[in-house]
Amino acid sequence: MEKMIHERSNGRLEMESVSRRFPGTDIIQDVARGKADAGDLHMVYHSGIYPLWNWDEIPGIVNMNPNTGVSEELDIYNDPKVRACYDKTMGKIGLKFWFVTQWDPCNGIWSKKEIKTLDDIKGLKIWTPGYLPARGMKALGASTVSMPGSEAAPALLAGAIDAALLPMDFGYSIGLAKIAKYFTRIPISPTRSSVTVVNEKFFTKLPKDLQKVFQEVGLELQQMVNRSTRAGYALSADAVDLAGIKRGELVPAAMAEARKKLKAIEEEWVTLSGKQGRDFLPLVKDAANRHRNLKTEKSTFCMTVH
């Protein structure tokens, strides 16, 4: 990112990346106040306070298959109407949307016992990240537990929890593949992303050509990370398989029932986001359907060769 900004601006912009300068939950306010010019916001941790920008936690908007889902999500973020809504709502607190960083979906239950039906989930003591995923797991009958994500593995080992709702890559990285026996994909949190924002006053003071550089670099970074995330998911799946973890999904009837119960997440999101959410969600769903339909259209062309 630093190199791209420097090269595309012919050296007129220098970017300095500072790790852990502020607590993760404070970054959004610190960038808005100008304590930093830009920052990366992990949106799942802000779902209770800024639900409008956490629409991608709503099940059913994009495909639960990670390779398809992250591509559909990126199309939504790039939709002009959706982007205009981001600019308007973020502008109210002094922020400017720059680009989205997509991660593996948080839609897998790491557990010691096999999970095939909703009866297997009922009463399960499960660690969940963020408010909306916890709301969803409660709708499925689980008992949710809150603790730092890094403690999920020792908690599962000690029996303090029965399971953890975590992405495949992160769960593997903290050692769950040495403790759990199963990874069960469910139709929750189909995508998970961070949004990089810029202080709006900083951005508007830049010359127009440098503003354009910012936007173009952001669009390119999104595509690079999107491809990396899809490739990373495939590598994570191989690593989990080699570790002896049995990967699976709910049986079809349970999957259908889970989708119905997980409508509670969308209902809660609409309640939290209010009128802004009621206006915004149709734009998101329309963008998803429109871009999905575009990708199913086929065109043919004829080329003559000598």
- Give the pLDDT confidence of 65-89 residue by residue, as tens digits: 888 888 899 999 999 999 999 999 9
CA–CA distance, 294 with 302 (Å, rounded to integer): 21
Q: What is the mean pLDDT of residues 46-53?
A: 79
Could you tell me what percent of the chain has a pLDDT over 90?
Answer: 61
Domain housing 57: 2-104+188-244+275-296
Query: Can you tell me whether residue 12 is helix, strand or coil?
Result: coil
Handedness of CA 51, 54, 58, 61 (dihedral sign): positive
Helix then strand then coil, % of the chain, to nearest 5: 55, 15, 30
Is 65 within the bounds of a domain? yes
Is 161 within the bounds of a domain? no
Is 267 within the bounds of a domain? no
Q: Give the chain's domain count.
A: 1
* Residue 258 tokens, joined: 């889970």
Is 34 within the bounds of a domain? yes
Q: What is the mean pLDDT of residues 213-236?
A: 91
- Amino acid at the residue 227: R
pTM for this predicted structure: 0.86
Is 223 within the bounds of a domain? yes
CA–CA distance, 304 with 248 (Å, rounded to integer): 48
Residue 114: alpha-carbon gap to chain centroid: 26
Integer angstrom CA distances of residue 149 from 45, 156, 167, 181, 240: 12, 12, 11, 19, 19
More confident of the two residues 73 and 191 = 73
The CATH number of the domain holding residue 204 is: 3.40.190.170
The pLDDT confidence band at residue 22, using thresholds 50, 70 and 90, is low
Is 138 within the bounds of a domain? no
Query: Can you tell me whether residue 4 is helix, strand or coil?
Result: helix
Is 250 within the bounds of a domain? no
Is 130 within the bounds of a domain? no
